[in-house]
Structure 1
């Protein structure tokens, strides 16, 4: 018997799932899945990939960057064709630029925080 596994969703803990889903919806151009509640919200990937989900965590503490006082548990890499365009879109959606690691000053990515403090990267990458 062969069982195929497929990632259904990538869940992010946060204090307000609807608000954070709104940020990522604006950033990625994704829509809310039907049946969103107050404690669990999903965004649907229009290309058919895994959903991005947001789960209420009343004790949520934002990670600190670049300090490890409150370490990040994950980060998203978002592919863009040009970093300048990705930067504009991230700022317009409500992201905050974070310091680029000193050893990565010439890298083809930039680091941001979403409104709840989760770091994510805009990466100029080939598809």
Structure 2
């Protein structure tokens, strides 16, 4: 089967792109390469998609855990050491949303956080 498309950009909506871009720039170690009033971009990883942050008037963060469809998406970030990564994202401004979860050896161990604008993401080993 031939792909119809590839991921070009992952866009997170927010009320203010600057602090969100700074947070994700530090978490992913990717420099900010575009700064507009309502759209900021990180440099993509080699061969990977861009990550961008767009102003959305009236932005409300999704609820976690979503009970009636509020959460639309989240990012899973693979890490070597969950405790080290946890400490760093909290230092950068993340908010912890769950305790460590270890439901299956196949899926690894993970923990759920929210970025400064409230987008959920998981750190996964």
TM category, shorter:
0.7 to 0.9
User: What's the TM-score once normalised by structure 1's chain length?
Assistant: 0.83
| 1:105-120 equivalence runs, <5 A | 105-107=101-103, 108-120=109-121
Please tell me whether the aligned partners of residues 101 and 111 of structure 2 are also in contact (alpha carbons under 8 angstroms).
Answer: no
CA deviations on 1:24-62 (whole Å, 9 max, x unpaired) are: 01111111124x201111111243410111110011111
- Displacement after TM superposition at 1:97 (Å): 0.6
Could you list the structure 1 runs, at least 4 aligned residues long, displaced by more than 4 angstroms after superposition: none
The aligned residue for residue 22 of structure 1 is 22
Structure 2, gaps ≥5 residues long: 104-108
Alignment TM-score, normalising by the size of structure 2: 0.84
What is the CA deviation profile of residues 69-127 of structure 1, one whole-angstrom value per residue up to 9, with x for unaligned ones? 67111101111011111101211211111024xxx832401000111111100010xxx
Specify which structure has the higher proportion of strand: 2
**Corresponding pairs, count:** 119
> What are the within-5 Å matches in structure 2 for residues 72-83 of structure 1?
72-83=71-82
